[in-house]
Structure 1
Amino acid sequence: MTTLPPTRDIAAVRVWDLPTRLFHWTLVTLITVMAVTGWTGSLDLHMLLGQAVLALVLFRLVWGFTGNRYARFGSFVTGPGNVLRYAASLFSPAGSQRHVGHNPLGGYAVLVMLALILLQAGSGLFTSDDIVVDAPLYHLVPGRVGSQLSTIHRLGIWALVAVIAIHILASLFYLLVKKDNLVLPMVTGRKPAPAGADAGAGGSPLLAAILLLACLALVYGGVALLK
């Protein structure tokens, strides 16, 4: 995990590859639309887009091993000791180290968020509103299991909302207190880093497009076959 050297050695370099940035903002858009369609009762569209969310998360899991250096899980998933030390340093007088990619705490936040979204999108395939609308794969599980998954889906959204709220507050904390803008680099791809550093091999948009299409085909095709 790369940390930043003294200011004089810093330059703006390409850190986040295009597929990672597109994934991030597409997921933000889809989750926003999913929340609106879920709460307004537009369940047909809600379930259709839920499959897109599932495919997108599956893509990110694969991209975590095939993307560029900072998109890969190996670059930001560290041991609990590193996370605790970093968390303890956040409010220390000396301050905490800045990282080129995700910091140790942020790395685990990524995993938690992906896991919650995967749970939401996966459980949503087997839910029912107990009135009119059944999810496409609801018929594949016993009624009791479907009911439990529906409960998990309805309650899980609040856990996801809480994590998203923490994510937004953390971004504001870093911007206002730590003077570290985490949002802009996810738009431009560039972030302060050691002069001459690069994101390494990987991050090919063509490979990303192929992987995303494969994930979409797997999810939509699989659901269509199992209906």
Structure 2
Amino acid sequence: MMKTTRIWDLPTRIFHWLLAAAVIGLVISGKVGGNAMTWHIRLGYVVFALLVFRVIWGLVGGHWSRFTSFFPTPARLGRYLRGKALAQDTAGHTPLGALSVFAMLLVLGAQVGTGLISDDEIAFSGPLTALVSGDTVNLATGYHKDWGQLLVIALIVLHIVAVLIYWVAKKNNLIKPMLGGDKTLAAEVVATRDSAKTRWLALVVLLAAIAIVYTVVGLASPALN
């Protein structure tokens, strides 16, 4: 008997779509350059705050949003690749999907980190360039503009292709649950916590993430005096 279960809490869903919009905006503004770099910087701060939020939310959020619920352990990966996955292995992110999630977090984290200390000597200078050596700035700038940007675009394309494959070939719509929060599953699994209390907690976590970003960006201020 199929059962509809809340898998994705509202904060996770909002995070997902905000991150997608911000990253697309970052790629476009980075390609356009010039005056668009003002938005590139702003969106970089947005992505920074969202990543900090997701890391914290991965520890205290709803059940299926927590890293422990979908971390791709060898056992989970093995069961999934052999076609013997348990319901709890795929109710949230599948093991392969989890690898994609962690790859995206790491690549975006590297992109944000290098962006903070990048300087193209034309229209963009990261807020923390004064804290590191010129060689470090050059290395960060090179990575941020070349390999880092390519990795982000590659992961975006891979993510879209994977969603389409699941939708067309496996008849599994991954977009709908990330919009409404619910999945219809053959086996019973734990429903995620998605109450008013959860959402207030998410707001507190978001404010903490914004405060962390503000503090990190402000680290260069003393060095500039």
Q: Same fold (TM over 0.5)?
A: yes
Residue 5 of structure 1 corresponds to which residue in structure 2?
Answer: none
Residue 29 of structure 2 corresponds to: 37
| In the alignment, structure 1 residue 206 sits paired with structure 2 residue 197 | no
Instruction: Map 1:138-217; keep pairs closer than 5 Å.
Output: 138-154=129-145, 155-193=147-185, 197-201=189-193, 204-217=198-211
1:76 is matched with which residue: 70, 76, 86? 70
Give the 3 Å change call, closer, same or farther, for CA 172–97 of structure 1 in structure 2: farther
* Alignment TM-score, normalising by the size of structure 2: 0.88
Distance 1:119 1:132 in 2: 21
Match of 1:219 in 2: 213
Check the 8 A contact 2:6/2:182 in 1, yes or no. yes
1:43-58 matches, cutoff 5 A: 43-58=37-52
SS of 1:181's equivalent in the other structure is: coil
Count of matched residue pairs: 214
SS in 2 for 1:25: helix
Inter-partner Cα distance in structure 1 for 2:189 and 2:85: 21
After superposing on structure 2, the runs of 4+ consecutive aligned residues of structure 1 that deviate more than 6 Å are: 95-98
Deviation at 1:134, TM superposition (A): 1.4
Q: Secondary structure at the match of 2:175?
A: coil
User: Which residue of 1 is the match for residue 58 of structure 2?
Assistant: 64
Query: 1:160 Cα shift?
Result: 1.4
Q: Contact (CA 8 Å) 2:130, 2:220: kept in 1 or not?
A: no
Q: CA deviation at 1:96?
A: 6.9
Instruction: Say if 2:52 is the partner of 1:28.
Output: no
Gaps of 5+ in 1: 1-8, 90-94
For residues 69-108 of structure 1, give each alpha carbon's deviation from its aligned partner in whole angstroms, at most 9, with x where no partner exists: 100111111323432442354xxxxx97762111111111
Q: Quickly say closer, same or farther: Cα 1:122–1:44, change in 2 above 3 A.
A: same
Structure 2 unaligned spans of 5+: none
Percent identity over the alignment is 37
Please give the alpha-carbon distance, in whole angstroms, between the structure 2 residues aligned to 1:192 and 1:166.
25
- Deviation at residue 208 of structure 1 after TM alignment: 0.5
Q: Pick from 7, 24, 28: which aligns with 1:15?
A: 7
RMSD of aligned Cα (Å): 2.0
TM-score, scaled relative to structure 1: 0.87
Greater Cα shift, 213-222 or 60-69: 213-222
Q: Could you tell me how far apart the structure 2 residues matched to 1:48 and 1:224 are?
A: 14
Deviation at 1:197, TM superposition (A): 4.3
Distance in structure 2 (CA, Å) of the matches to 1:221 and 1:96? 43
More helix by share: 2
